[in-house]
Structure 1
Amino acid sequence: MDDINGRKNSHKFHSKEMLFESELLAKECANINSPLNYSRTLGASQNWIGCGYIHKPGVETEHINVKFPFFSLVYVIRGTGSYTDENGKRHLLSPGSIFQRRPKVMHTTVVTPNSDWQEYYLDCNEELYEHLSSMSLINKDIAVYDNAVCPGIKSDIESLMAQLQNANEEEVFDAYLRFLSIIRTLLTSQDEVNIPNDMITESLTDFEVRYATRFDLKEYCSNKGWGYEKFRKTFKKHMGVSPREYLIRKRMDEACRLLRASKKRISVIASELGYASQYEFSNQFSKYFKVAPKHYREGV
C-alpha cells in the first residue's frame, strides 16, 4: 500500500483502515490535515510495527465505541479532548497525555473542536502487543497515563518514521529496537513525576488501619485519584517494598505478636488478620518465616 504522499509503505498487509469494523475512521480522513504513517513487517514473521503523525486542526473528531484490531499508543502534543475507556470512565486529554488503543477493547475518543489537535502514535499488531505486555513493557490495565515530560521524544519518533520509511530488510530490526526504546521512554516517563510525600504518608496512615482487611489496591488508588502504577513504584522507592509486600509484612508482624502474646487459636488469628482460612494464613506465614505458626508459638 502507498502512504498519503505516494511513497511506498513496506507493510505487507491490508491497509489498517480496512480492518476496522465500522467506516467511521475512514470518513474522518477528509478532516485530517497531512497525516503521515509508516509501518514495516519484522522479517519473515507476521508481526509489524508502525508510527505516524496526525493533525486535526478544526472540526470535532470522534471515535465512538470503536474497537481497534491492533495496538496504538498515542502521544498528544497539541489540543484537548477526552478518552472514555471500556468501563465508561472518562479521561481528559491535553498536551503530554498518553493513551492506549488496545486491541479489540471498546473505547471512545473525542477531540475538542478547533483545539488544533496534533498527535504522534506508535502501533503494532495484536500478537506483538501481547508479547510486549507479557514482558511488562506495556501495562494492559492502564488506558490513559498522566501528562508526561519527554524531552526529545518528538525528534525520536520522527527519526523512527524516517527509519521505517527508508530501512532495508536488515535495518528493520534496528527500527524495532528504536520502537521499543520510545515506548519505554513514554511509559516510564510517568515515574519521573514525583508523588508528594504527603500522599505516601496518607497511604501509610490508611494501611495502619486497614492492613488486617483485604482490599483492592487498584480500587484504593482510584478512589484517591492516584495512578496505581505510579503509586506502586513510588511507594516502593520510598519504602523499599511494594504496597502489597508492605501490607503482608504488617500482617505477619501482627501475627507474630498475637502468637506469642496471646492464647488465641490460630484460626481466630487468621480471621482477625483478614485471611479466608487458617490454611491460607499458615501457608503465607510458613512461606514468610520458613516455620509454621504452631511451631513459632512453641518456639521450635
Structure 2
Amino acid sequence: MKAIHHLQLRSNCLYLGGEGNNAEKLSGGFYDHTFIPEFAGEYFRHKYFAITYILKGHGVFKDHCARSFDYREGDLVFRHADTPFFMSKCFREDGWLEFSAALPQSLSDALLAAGVLRKDLTFLSPGISPALLGMAEAYTDSLFCVNKNAGAAQAYAAILNFLDELARSTAPENFAGTPKEMGQLEQVRQLLDDVSDTTPLPLLARRIGMGYENFRKSFRRRFGLSPQEYRIQRRLDQADALLRHTRLSIKEIAGRLGYSDITAFSRQYRKFRRVPPSSGRDALPPAAGAAAFPGVPGR
C-alpha cells in the first residue's frame, strides 16, 4: 500500500452554470473514516454521476441493474445519475480511504452518448494504480484553482484522462499476467463453461493454486467479468437456447444447468433477464426442438 501513503486528505466543490438548484456540482477528493461513516448500507439515488475508487476498506455495492459486488481495495464503482444503488462500508483497523468524484449529469450524458461510458458499467477492478492515483490527485488539485472556470476545465481534462487510463488498464487484452497465470485462468474459464458444474469458486481457485481475491480480480481483468458473473452469463445463455429450441420443461432445464431447484433458477433468470423464463420459450412445432440444439435430447 505504499502508493497511498503520500495522499493528502482534501476535497472541494465547484458549482457551475447557475445558482441554487440550477447549478451543477463538480466535486471530489480523498476521504477517510473521519469524513465518511461506517454503515451497513441503504439505497440512494443521486442527481449526479459519481466515481468511487476504494483505497482502504471493503463492503457490498448493488447497482441499478440488480447486480451485487463484494468490493475491496483497488476496486472502483460508478454510480450513474438518477439510478438507485446500495453501498455498505466496512472499515479496516486503520480506517477507510477512498477517492471520489461527483460530476455534472450533463458531462456523464455526453460521455454516455460518445460511448466512453456505458450505463451497465458500474464496477471495475483496476487495483491500486499509481497512474490512476496521480490523475485523481490532478483532479482534486483542479478543484482548488482560484479561477473557477480554469479549475473546471482542468478537472474535466483530469477526469477524462482518469477514465482513459481506467479503460486501458482494465481492458481484458491488457491483462499483464504471467504465462502460468494466463493458463490457470483459461483452465478455470473452461471449467465454468460446463454449466452443470457447481464447484464453489473458492475451491476452483485453490485447485489452481491461487488465493480467492487474487483469482477473482485476475479473472475479471482477463475476461472482463468476475468468475461468478461469467458462470451466471454462461448458464443464462444456455437457458435461453434450451428454452427456445427444446421441449424440456423449465424444471428440467434448471436441473441441467446446476440449479438446486426451479425457484432458484427462475429467480436468477428474472433478476438478470427482467422477465420470467417462460417468456423466453418460443412456440415449437410438433416433434421439433431437439434437432435445433445438437447434443440435447428432446422429450
Give TM-score, length-normalised by structure 2. Answer: 0.51
Distance between the aligned counterparts of 2:192 and 2:70, measured in 1?
Answer: 28
- From 98, 108, 123, give the equivalent of 2:102: 123
The aligned length equals: 190
Tell me whether 1:231 sits opposite 2:206 in the alignment: no
SS at match of 2:154: helix
Higher Cα Rg: structure 1 or 2? 1
Tell me whether 1:99 sits opposite 2:81 in the alignment: no
**Partner residue of 1:251?**
none
- TM alignment of 1:1-300, pairs within 5 A: 36-41=11-16, 48-56=25-33, 60-115=38-93, 116-168=95-147, 169-170=149-150, 172-191=152-171, 192-194=174-176, 196-197=182-183, 231=223, 272=292
Whether the 8 Å CA contact 2:53–2:77 is kept in 1: the answer is yes
Distance between the aligned counterparts of 1:80 and 1:139, measured in 2?
Answer: 24
Whether the 8 Å CA contact 1:52–1:161 is kept in 2: the answer is yes
1:93 Cα offset (Å)? 1.6
Whether the 8 Å CA contact 1:61–1:111 is kept in 2: the answer is yes
SS at match of 1:92: strand
Distance between the aligned counterparts of 1:141 and 1:54, measured in 2?
Answer: 26
Q: Are residues 230 and 103 of structure 1, via their aligned partners in 2, closer, same or farther at CA, if it must alter by over 3 Å?
A: farther
1:232 Cα offset (Å)? 6.3
1:208-246 per-position Cα deviation (integer Å, ceiling 9, x unaligned): x9xxxxxxxxxxxxxxx897896369xxxxxxxxxxxxx
SS at match of 1:111: coil
Query: Which letter maps to 1:53?
Result: F
1:152 Cα offset (Å)? 3.5
Query: Which letter maps to 2:42?
Result: I
1:92 Cα offset (Å)? 1.4
1:110-147 per-position Cα deviation (integer Å, ceiling 9, x unaligned): 11145511100122122221211122222221221124
Unaligned runs of 5+ in 1: 1-33, 210-224, 234-267, 275-300
Work out the percentage of aligned pairs sharing the same amino acid: 14
1:74 Cα offset (Å)? 0.6
Distance between the aligned counterparts of 2:162 and 2:30, measured in 1?
Answer: 15
Whether the 8 Å CA contact 2:138–2:158 is kept in 1: the answer is no
Give TM-score, length-normalised by structure 1. Answer: 0.51
Supply the RMSD in Å over aligned alpha carbons.
Answer: 3.9
Distance between the aligned counterparts of 1:164 and 1:175, measured in 2?
Answer: 7
Where in structure 1 do 4 or more consecutive aligned residues deviate above 6 Å? 42-46, 201-207, 225-229
1:69-96 per-position Cα deviation (integer Å, ceiling 9, x unaligned): 1110111111122212234433112111
Q: Which moved more, 1:85-94 or 1:54-63?
A: 54-63
